[in-house]
A and B are shown apart, each in its own frame.
Chain A
């Protein structure tokens, strides 16, 4: 299109002025319909403009409106009312508590809909609910709140939790849902300040997510940030300050127990000595965490604004770890005239992450012998010399890492409504990310200056400095036309549009050695130039989509939704590049049928059903193109090597989308005037052509032994329900209790003609622990079955196959007796059995809120049952000198003990077996918050509208069967989920804070 046309269009649109009309001054009072209590701070806005005000201390308001304009009266927790003004005067308006089902508005992707009109499965959580919890990422606060949504979080500062919606649906690039922040699609919301969020809407089924096509397969979480309201300027300050510590630590053997065990394991004499080091105690600490947010919002007739500022500081519970985030947000909206709105949302985030090598630290702390001290008079205990395990404290102290990330996210839109019902919206979103990493390694030798005793492999012969810089930019441009109309009882809503998106990334890194150990000199130039190395690279991709949706509603009884999206992605080869993602949904609002009218306790009852197809395109851009690995050099005749290349990665040229088809059936209900409400749902989700990094035989010649391919298909079938009861007992006491439950069954329904997928290698001889095979959940643990322990050599000799062959001739008394599954008289990989998977059979949340006078109390419980986890760190026993868990040291088999569950003292390298598989069931008191609202009369004099002080505990108590740190484990691939190797223990936080509105 020519530029001239665009300009002429905008010229005409912007300068077309509206007709003037008669103006009235309206006064009024707003109160609660049941209690008649005045409502302070209710918002009164003039529909279609930014004009508005809020009620004062006695519930009164005053506003100027033109003839025929509509007032929109809203207040949190109450149903919004509209009032058409035809004359001036005083209006007494009574608001009713909101019926969740009837009036809740859900952001559905490229638009909004009333919950009651939606034919798909959705849920919504309000910002203030999220704010109650002292968590760093908003998604973590979703845990236990929504049926069908599983949040798996790590205690690591700055990390994002996994969001799994209705089971594990896809395999690649994590299984996390898509996020949409103010219309802009993103995979990472760690930059969003929870305090800026108004609502989080969760789209669960394929019919709701199909509008996001190739990105919807894992469900969608839509985040809407706050906007200003015209009228009185509002200010808000909220904070929390608290402490974090590890909720649960694995108790390791002390010096004496260790010496006893290690002596027995190695056959050498290990003496307890003078030290008794608790290595976890040495690397862990109580960490300070604090969060401060300030916001300002308001607006005039023609514009509204929201300004937010946030500061968050989270000391990790591990020595030297720290995360700081600074956050600024500006949301501005302008009403150019009666049919043109423009707006811009911008958020800038800067985070400072003082990262530590947690994997190494935890692994070392678990394995290090307690008889070696951590530090004595500035010199470190030499665990490396003693047992080839690094001193965790030294490792943490001798690396100084800092990662700074700056992220600027903006979205700007223009919305034109030329005639009633028709709207055109064009939105451009940008996301600019800049990262700087610095890693400094101090110089130290394995000598007696550093260590109490010289030797070992923990050394850093030369100091080194590595710096890295990366810049990425992504833009997304949506153009959407929507049209809404009704003819008698038929109402229609159409949208159609296009989106385009492109991404580019560049990175460069440099490293030098012999850099002085002075922080101010930590720049590349100060290093020895003869040791310079550098590297760099980049990435680019693009997406293009066409979207459309039809909503039809007959008489608020019969609902139909149809969507169609076509997605093209540069990351898929040309032949498979485009995917079509359709969906249909039907709804029947039974409660609006005449035959239901007599049933008075039913407020709303809706039956809905949908089918849809979605996809996942998160494939690396080079996944189908064979690339050449450069710089594999060879120094012919010595000296400087000649660069060479190799093709080290095998690619699948026929790579295609992952596609998910889902059937959904649901019943939504709201009874007794909304006192009892909730949903029942059933889903059947088939994900085909899952992209999995499949282990391939070495003969294929793939260097890392894995090839990305469409390897398997899985099915998740589930049932979910939520049940909430809320009641206002009297003026002083209101409460809500609710619960949700999800039952999910995951199983593999196809392997695309390939082999079962083996994964979950631990090391220490356990080369795989999981197998993904037909009819079993994805990534099921596949190990030997322990039957017990050989008590004596007679038992070993008596353990024979049907042909009389001794099955474990190499065993000693105290070794495990394994089940010979195939009866061939020997124990090998053919005797492995499926023993469950990390996919829970059920997960649930229970929450309650109680308000009595000025006090509020709330609590959340979350749990899951029916899954298993693998104690990988226990399996990764590399030497007889490695420390052991206290329970092993106590409970180990000794001759005559009769013990059947712990083997004799050993040096590790035991085969993968049920010994390491433990129940993943847990139930946790997620959050308890008690708050006190300061009396409003008291505050009025200080011009404070609301003030709340609160005390909160996050992750207060967990009941778990697992003996490791936590059964909640993040992993990149579902074919190896649920293995605890170096897990960061979940953290418990106690905090207090205030929330003040002016």
Chain B
């Protein structure tokens, strides 16, 4: 009896020990997250995901492409705008940039770098997935074109922010792969980056449809041509600028919106003037836009208080800008919210009827009207999320094409086209025509001046004056501590240099 029990016990045990775990017991798939293998529509979703990178604005975290770091390093650094807000708020981040005291550890200089390389990586991921995606050639090339345009756009920003940067054009297999490949860790030359940008954008020109043949907000041939024209403008390749802008003009799909002040309002979204516009809307039952774009720039309570303010009051139009508009320029009041400092306490009534009290209850004298988004839901869509207001960002619009064509014409000695183009822009601004006899540097300066007021607070000015070679002169005239040969570019973030093991070099002067 007993022996039988032992036998059975041990037979059972042996069986338990050897058969309990079938071979796939340890093959447990990842839960709740699609992998590159399990998502059938991966390529298309990754393309949309690349567009999503346009609205990133986590300036204190993962990175920023169009949030406050972008606002600070374009508008606030220029002579068009000041830090604003209360004197100590963000003094060490934005204040440094505004006063040209920033160094390699500036938080925003780092988050621009991170935001752009995250976005570029998303482009590369999408391109890799598109290579093997099973979609028809036309669609595939269109998507590749859209993604390459965006990659080119990000590199265009990067080369203007930092100069030559690492030319990352593929997905690293792992962190170790990126570490061992010098392309990831060392800077390409400015020329190399521009040739990448041009290659990407030319592909987009060749493979994306016209504006009216694709979804609103998608990259189309006009977007690519206009942006490529701008790239060539930064390379002083004026014939290419002229050719591309002329193609956009001749497409007949674009015109100036008749009312300048509508451009940056909801009513002006995706208008006839729109060429490259960052889209906003709703998602997950809430407002969906560039993080913080409006709230950082919203008018801020100060002094006596007594009202619920709209934001933190950064990026205030400079007195230099506000007071230099030509008499009668409608663009002034479309760009600047001017706080009532008359002593009569009438306050400032905005277009939607919102009243901002007078200066004794407000922190600053001026605010950016182009970043104002109405909180009255009948006027502009607003679901209550101030941090992600539905404010489209007009990266490139038809007026830029007109003025680029003007500048190229000037450079190529077609003075009459240059003048007539500037006049188109001036006419909308309710300004008179330029003197027909203008030529030479006077005409060039007239074109440049027009660019300033047309695109004031639209993130163009600082890059533009660096391009024009006037940055030192203009910034010094504005009383800024600008050092030529240094402050044209941002510092390469210290951490990135450290993480590259010193292979990444710093910009001059930092």
Contact = CB atoms under 8 A, between A and B. Distances in A.
* Chains A and B belong together in one complex: yes
A454 B308 contact: yes
A544 B269 CA distance: 59
B498 interface: yes
B279 A634 contact: yes
A340 B449 CA distance: 96
Interface string B67-103: 0000000000000000000111111100000000000
Given A531-B286, A698-B114, A753 B176 contact: yes
Given A387-B88, A697-B496, A697-B500, A500 B118 contact: no
Interface of A: 1, 5-6, 8-9, 12-13, 16, 266, 268, 385, 387-388, 416, 418-419, 422, 424, 426, 445-448, 453-457, 461-462, 477, 479, 481, 496-498, 500, 502, 504-505, 513, 530-533, 536-544, 546, 568-570, 574, 577, 621-622, 625-648, 650-654, 694-705, 707, 709, 753-755, 758, 763-768, 828-829, 878-881, 907-909, 911
B499 A697 contact: yes
A908 B42 CA distance: 46
Interface string B177-210: 0110000110000000000000000000000000
B185 A697 contact: yes
Nearest to A449: B308
Contacts of A654: 174
Contacts of B5: 12-13, 16, 418
A627 to B, nearest CB: 4
Nearest to A387: B88
Interface stretch (B23-31, B330-338, B467-475): B23-31
Nearest to A623: B30
A748 to B, nearest CB: 16
A700 B172 contact: yes
B213 interface: no
Interface residues of B, number: 116
Interface in B104-156: 104-107, 110, 113-114, 117-118, 120-122, 124-125
B499 A645 contact: no
Nearest to A12: B5
B33 to A, nearest CB: 4
Contact of A758 (B171, B280, B493, B495): B495
Contacts of A266: 87-88
Contact of A701 (B16, B87, B120): B120
Contacts of B184: 697, 699-700
A539 B288 CA distance: 29
Nearest to B214: A636
A652 B283 CA distance: 32
B305 A455 contact: yes
B132 to A, nearest CB: 14
A583 to B, nearest CB: 21
Contact of B301 (A455, A481, A513): A455
Interface string B441-483: 0000000000000000000000000000000000000000000
Interface stretch (B44-52, B343-351, B427-435): B44-52
Contacts of B11: 5
Interface in B6-39: 6, 8-9, 11-13, 15-17, 19-21, 25-36, 39
Given A638-B390, A695-B499, A454 B301 contact: yes
B390 A709 contact: no
B308 A445 contact: yes
Contacts of A648: 118, 122
Interface stretch (B215-223, B237-245, B418-426): B215-223
B281 A645 contact: no
7 contacts: A570-B28, A628-B36, A703-B118, A765-B106, A766-B105, A767-B105, A881-B88
Given A9-B9, A268-B87, 6 more contacts: A496-B17, A627-B34, A628-B33, A635-B288, A644-B49, A645-B34
Contacts of A880: 88, 91
Contacts of A879: 88-89, 91-92
B124 A645 contact: no
A969 B12 CA distance: 51
Contacts of A634: 48-49, 51-52, 54-55, 217, 279
B497 interface: yes
B494 A829 contact: yes
Contacts of B86: 388
Nearest to B30: A622
Given A461-B384, A544-B21, A635-B283, A645 B35 contact: no
B309 A481 contact: no
Interface string B383-414: 11010001010000000000000000000000
A634 B312 CA distance: 26
A385 B363 CA distance: 11
Contacts of B173: 653
B31 A537 contact: yes
Contact of B215 (A621, A637, A908): A637
Contacts of B9: 9, 13, 416, 418, 424
Contacts of A456: 301
A633 B44 CA distance: 12
A477 B121 CA distance: 44
A632 B302 contact: no
A650 B32 contact: no
Contacts of B355: none
Given A455-B300, A758-B495, A5 B174 contact: no
B62 A704 contact: yes
Given A5-B12, A635-B217, A497 B17 contact: yes
A448 B306 contact: yes
Contacts of A530: 285, 383
B8 to A, nearest CB: 5
A482 to B, nearest CB: 11
Contacts of B26: 542-544, 568-570, 577
A696 B6 contact: no
Given A637-B279, A698-B114, A701-B121, A709 B168 contact: no
A544 B20 CA distance: 10
| Candidate in A533, A643, A697 with the most chain B CB atoms within 10 angstroms | A697
Interface string B350-388: 000000000000000000000000000000000110100
Nearest to A755: B501
A537 B32 contact: yes
A768 B285 CA distance: 38
A647 B301 contact: no
Given A479-B16, A646-B50, A765-B105, A454 B307 contact: yes
B284 A533 contact: yes
A912 B348 CA distance: 46
Nearest to B390: A638
B16 A498 contact: yes
A654 B173 CA distance: 11
Contacts of B496: 697-699
Contact of A765 (B4, B87, B92): B92
A448 B308 CA distance: 9
Nearest to A385: B301
B20 A498 contact: yes
A108 B488 CA distance: 68
Contacts of A455: 300-302, 305, 309
Given A640-B281, A768-B498, A698 B113 contact: yes
A540 B383 contact: no
Nearest to B362: A455
| Candidate in A500, A647, A698 with the most chain B CB atoms within 10 angstroms | A698
B166 interface: yes
B270 interface: yes
B305 A699 contact: no
B57 interface: no
Contacts of B87: 266, 268
Contacts of B281: 635, 638-641
Contact of B107 (A422, A622, A636, A765): A765
A639 B215 CA distance: 13
A500 B45 contact: no
A536 B30 CA distance: 14
